[in-house]
Structure 1
């Protein structure tokens, strides 16, 4: 009987979540998004698929980094997509490549008249959410060395082939 009491009183082990999504950050104004998103439903399905792909990549990795940050995605006409990662700490290189490749493999929705840019604010392995409200991937910082403000759609277009 004592073992039963001990077993019932023992804390249960809760598995760490590989990926927690806190929110979707839209990086363009509603006016721009209304012009460029042909179907809100298609974009919503794409965001869900991106989340699932990222979760799958993190789950499959042997790296168990507890960190918060952003998965940044741009979709431009012709159903092309590009992915950038912006985390509070350096990610394991293999994990970074797995996330980017898995997310990039998701078939994007149809954008029109220019790129649509958004980010998933996430944490890996029960990490804390980043305190930042918007992402600024290293590649974006380097492209803006002169400090001049640039519309995010123009910025991603300038980096597309890099």
Structure 2
């Protein structure tokens, strides 16, 4: 169920995407509303699942995870349990920070963070390639990130 979001909701969400630590009073001032209304809106947005979590975003390089790998995984077969088993397996690997199921030539796209190429090689041979049903893995190393944001492009002009 998608809740109806009005202009005030969208402005609040935009501010929270920029800084989830903003005090309610600051948000209320910036959206020209009362603290009570803003607090209620944030609670409603949280209860409905629009706000999934409030987290700290870390710089992966500054915590020793300087190598980002984009891996395309092709499965050998698409039996009843193969794809769900793959998904369950990759959820257990902390190195996998994103997993997308794709349509097309490959089945999954993984975003993987490791400390070194050697660490990825070990992960590749000992973990990823050992998952039942994996036929082929094509890995690319990210040299730089031109765009790296968690902010959604909200349509703030909505009324």
Q: TM-score range by the shorter chain?
A: under 0.3
**TM norm structure 2:** 0.27
**TM norm structure 1:** 0.26
